[in-house]
């Protein structure tokens, strides 16, 4: 089954599972995603037992090459959101 689970489908599934309106399902999913985003933006981590861990990883400044001009450039330091799956999720995916 190669189904795409996007935010809309997830919201509809939540609404159906808990016998809510689609609007309420959407509000719940939005709240969860906003909470995760806010926590990561503040430098925190989000650990969901049995699912995985979202964290912020720092990437230092590094040299690079512009592929169009072959000019050497400096890629600025940045932060990136990263996800590390829990063992239970890895096992479920590899069944």
**Domain shared by 37 and 52, yes or no:** no
Is 37 in the same domain as 49? no
In terms of domains, do 72 and 93 share one? yes
Q: What is the pTM of this model?
A: 0.81
5, burial (CB in 10 Å: exposed 0-12, middle 13-18, buried 19+): exposed
* Max Cα distance, the chain (Å): 58
CATH number of the domain enclosing 84: 4.10.520.10
Q: Which domain holds residue 29?
A: 1-42
> In the prediction, which pLDDT does 3 show?
86
Q: Write the pLDDT tens digit of every residue in 23-82.
A: 999 999 999 999 999 999 999 999 999 999 999 999 999 999 999 999 999 999 999 999
Q: What's the rounded Cα separation, in Å, for the pair 31 and 49?
A: 19
Nearest to 89 by CA among 45, 50, 47: 50
- Please check whether residues 92 and 69 belong to one and the same domain: yes
Shared-domain flag, residues 88 and 54: yes
**Do 30 and 59 belong to one domain?**
no
């Amino acid at each position: 089954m190669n189904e795409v689970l996007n935010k809309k489908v997830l919201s509809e599934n939540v609404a159906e599972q808990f016998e809510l309106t689609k609007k309420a399902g959407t509000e719940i999913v939005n709240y969860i995603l906003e909470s995760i985003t806010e926590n990561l933006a503040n430098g925190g981590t989000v650990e969901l037992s049995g699912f995985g861990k979202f964290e912020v990883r720092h990437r230092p400044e590094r040299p690079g090459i512009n592929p169009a001009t072959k000019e050497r450039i400096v890629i600025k330091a940045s932060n990136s959101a990263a996800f590390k799956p829990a063992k239970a999720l890895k096992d479920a995916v590899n069944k």
